[in-house]
């Protein structure tokens, strides 16, 4: 092992840890031997690893942090590093950006099978964990770290810790829940902030630099992560960026296969492949119909993965797309979401949700059981009309 790796690890471990913990942090059993955290760039994976190290019972000398995207890791063998670390009394190995290491699955499998150490690793949301070179599905416990929920944003910004609710609790008791929250904050004021700069924890460092940092997230995801993982031709990187820019100005129902293909100057088959890559990279969401026949006959609904991306990608964002982007961003990590034949979305094959502004009526969901309207720009709801912002309290 290069001495520089130990030096960098000591420097990283000596830093102060954030006092704010993502909701996922409390769901992880940090005694598990092999834990993986995947998620979008900028979502806080490295911070979570740092916090895990801080709460560990091991001494600092028994913990090693390495990042696979640094020059110091060039030519290094992960299993050899782990073996040497274990031989000298190491107990906890933290591996960041593991998707940047070739055949990492084989290395992790060998570490799990032959060494008596614990490994926590993080990687891109597009990380491939189950390919035949080293299936980790039976060994690693994998978690996905989503963007900040609206609830988490408030906790990080204002220091107010509200509880999270299950979807069932929220749908049944939304009036009481909204009332309790409104006693402490002005939800619409905070929601307007959140939609612009609240999806990623680095807003806390500098709001002025937020747009630039978010642009870096998009560029690095495409130019580094997706290009490396899926072997995308470097010359096609701008095509992926162009697709994102095209999507943010369209309403969800305006998206047309042939038009989008023509505008991007690629075939629908190639476009479909690129869309799938960007979904895996947490840049957009593809929402399909529940029925397989409808999936074949109708194009998926394509949405940017969170509302902050609209600020970076276009000057005149479509309001409908932005609202639906927020709604989807708060549900996809914990629920199944499909396009609905009536209404906008079918959640967990059970609940129909229509998204809209203050003028939205109930025509689209008339006669449908367990149907609700998620309405923007209202503080509190009534009956089956629920404030859109309140869906940000699911985690």
Assign 3-class secondary structure to the chain. CCHHHHHHHHHHHCCCCCCCCCHHHHHCCCCCCEEEEEECCCCCHHHHHHHHHHHCCCCHHHEEEEECCCHHHCCCCHHHHHHHHHHCCCCEEEEECHHHCCCHHHHHHHHHHHCCCEEEEEEECCCCCCCCCCCCCCCCEEEEECCCCHHHHHHHHHCCCCCCCCHHHHHHHHHHHHHHHHCCCCHHHHHHHHHHHCCCHHHHCCCCCHHHHHHHHHHHHHHHHHHHHHCCCHHHHHHHHHHHHHHCCCCCCCCCHHHHHHHHCCCHHHHHHHHHHHHHCCCEEEECECCHHHHHHCCCEEEECCCHHHHHHCCCCCHHHHHHHHHHHHHCCCCCEEECCCCCEEECCCEEEEEECCCCCCHHHCCCCCEEEEECCCCCCECCEEEHHHHHHCC
pLDDT digits (tens, 9 = 90+) for 168-218: 999 999 999 999 999 999 999 999 999 999 999 999 999 999 999 999 999
Output the pLDDT for position 130. Answer: 59
In terms of domains, do 207 and 98 share one?
no
Output the pLDDT for position 68. Answer: 97
Domain boundary among 94, 118, 145: 145
Residue 159 has pLDDT above 70, yes or no: yes
Residue 134 has pLDDT above 60, yes or no: no
CATH code (residue 9): 3.40.50.300
In terms of domains, do 91 and 170 share one?
no
Domain boundary among 92, 116, 145: 145
Confidence of residue 71 (pLDDT cuts 50, 70, 90): very high
Residue 255 has pLDDT above 80, yes or no: no
Residue 132 has pLDDT above 50, yes or no: no
Give how many domains the chain has, as a whole number. Answer: 2
In terms of domains, do 257 and 108 share one?
no
Range of the domain at 332: 150-393
In terms of domains, do 105 and 167 share one?
no
């Amino acid at each position: 092992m290069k001495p520089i790796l130990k030096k960098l690890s000591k420097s990283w471990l000596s830093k102060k840890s954030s006092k704010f913990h993502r909701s996922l942090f409390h769901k992880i059993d940090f005694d598990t031997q092999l834990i993986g955290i995947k998620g979008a760039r900028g979502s806080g994976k490295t911070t979570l690893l740092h916090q895990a190290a801080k709460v560990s019972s091991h001494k600092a000398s028994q913990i090693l942090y390495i990042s696979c995207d640094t020059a110091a890791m060039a030519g290094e063998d992960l299993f050899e590093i782990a073996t040497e670390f274990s031989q000298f009394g190491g107990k906890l190995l933290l591996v960041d950006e593991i998707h940047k290491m070739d055949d990492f699955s084989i290395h992790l499998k060998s570490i799990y099978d032959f060494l008596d150490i614990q490994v926590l690793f993080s990687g891109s949301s597009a990380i491939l964990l189950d390919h035949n070179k080293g299936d980790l599905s039976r060994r690693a416990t994998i978690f996905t770290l989503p963007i900040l929920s609206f609830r988490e944003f408030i906790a990080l910004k204002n220091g107010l810790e509200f509880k999270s609710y299950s979807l069932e609790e929220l749908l049944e008791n939304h009036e009481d829940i909204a009332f309790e929250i409104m006693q402490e904050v002005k939800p619409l004021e905070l929601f307007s902030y959140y939609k612009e700069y609240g999806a990623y924890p680095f807003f806390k460092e500098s709001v002025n630099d937020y747009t630039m940092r978010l642009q870096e997230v998009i560029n690095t995801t495409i130019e580094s992560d997706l290009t490396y993982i899926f072997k995308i031709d470097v010359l096609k990187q701008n095509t992926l960026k162009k697709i994102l820019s095209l999507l943010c100005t369209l309403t969800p129902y305006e998206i047309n296969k042939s038009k989008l293909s023509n505008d991007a100057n690629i075939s629908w088959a190639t476009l479909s492949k690129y869309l799938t890559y960007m979904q895996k990279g947490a840049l957009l969401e593809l929402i399909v119909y529940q029925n397989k026949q409808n999936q074949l006959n109708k194009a998926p609904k394509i949405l940017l993965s969170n509302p902050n991306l609209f600020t970076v990608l276009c000057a005149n964002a479509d309001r409908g797309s932005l609202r639906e982007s927020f709604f989807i961003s708060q549900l996809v990590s914990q629920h199944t979401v499909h396009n609905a034949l009536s209404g906008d979305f079918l959640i967990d094959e059970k609940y129909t949700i229509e998204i809209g502004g203050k003028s939205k009526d109930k025509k689209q969901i008339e006669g449908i059981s367990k149907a609700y309207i998620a309405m923007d720009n209202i503080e509190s709801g009534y009956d089956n009309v629920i404030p859109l912002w309140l869906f940000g309290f699911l985690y």
